Amino acid sequence: MMARTLNTNLISNKIPYEIYESSKQGAIAVAQMIATLIKEKQRVGENCVLGLATGSTPEPMYAELIRMHKEEGLSFKNVITFNLDEYYPMKPESSQSYHYFMEKQLFAHVDIKEENVHVPDGTIQENDIKEYGASYDKQIADAGGIDIQILGIGNNGHIGFNEPGASRYSGTRLITLDENTREANARNFSHLEEVPYRAITMGIGSILKSKKIMLLAWGDKKADAVQKSILEEATESVPASLLQAHNNCVFIIDTAASRLL
Ligand code: F6R
């Protein structure tokens, strides 16, 4: 199915955006752009470095990439991935971990090399996290930098787990989750009390180093954060608005998420 863009830029926006009829159409369009880059890089013998997100937003995009692998032979052998975040503390084998999520949603179903997959380690000793965060950012740089960074957006405008107030210069580090975020993510735990209070996340500075950034947002609940990020002044109290500083960033949204634009 070809995804169709309903609308693109208005004059007053500070970040370009594309509106799709449905989340499925938007997700397919993003998967096609990723597949095109993977294949272009294959032709010239290069790796394709992807920055990946978890959460419900990218699920249909991962489903489409798996379909392309199975039905169209799209290979992930030249793909290197870096995930944005992981709860802290969190064991990778836990069914609530983002390691587990990524295995289930993508990695187990495609031919990506195990050594090319990176998800922040939620088992690092707390004293070592500072150094670990710097080494995660260095690994990204050593891989050549992120070619396409995929982002979702929190209802409060967070990107990765950079909650309101995060510095635009931040690198990968330990953060405290907003209550709002813990509540939004409680659906994956049996009780709110079980949702970790902290997480390791790539920083806004780490994200802004990516060559291209695609932020995906579906549904009415994201409309307010999308509107503030695209139309209002950039501010650390709406982390996604800091993407205005990037020269190759686009929001891919559905009709419901575009309601306030
Ligand atoms: C997840 C992440 C978060 C989510 C955001 C939206 O790796 O970095 O920023 O993208 O919380 O979550 P969903 O997609 O579940 O609405």
Among 153, 156, 252, which is best to mutate for testing ligand 1, by the most ligand atoms less than 8 A from CB?
Answer: 153
- Which residue's CA is minimally distant from atom 11 of ligand 1? 154
Q: Phi and psi dihedrals of 126, rounded to 5?
A: -55, -40
CA atoms within 13 A on the CB side of 74: 26
The DSSP secondary-structure symbol of 152 reads: -
> Across the chain, what does the average pLDDT equal?
96
pLDDT in tens, 47-79: 999 999 999 999 999 999 999 999 999 999 999
Identify the residues whose C-beta falls under 6 Å from ligand 1.
53-57, 84-85, 152-154, 158-161
pLDDT given at position 6: 53
pLDDT given at position 7: 52
Q: Which domains does the chain have, with CATH numbers?
A: 44-239 (3.40.50.1360)
79/169 Cα distance (integer angstroms)? 27
Q: For residues 82 and 176, is the Cβ–Cβ distance under 8 A? A: no
pLDDT in tens, 172-209: 999 999 999 999 999 999 999 999 999 999 999 999 99
CA atoms within 13 A on the CB side of 203: 21
DSSP character string of 40-103: HHHHTT--EEEEE--SSTTHHHHHHHHHHHHHH----TTEEEEESEEEES--TTSTTSHHHHHH
State if pTM tops 0.85.
Answer: yes
Active site residues: 85, 156, 158, 163
Token duo for residue 155: 């209802």
- Which residue's CA is minimally distant from atom 9 of ligand 1? 160
97/110 Cα distance (integer angstroms)? 20
Identify the H or E element spanning 176.
strand 173-176
How far does the centroid of ligand 1 lie from the alpha carbon of residue 65, in Å? 19
| 48 strand-pairing partners | 79
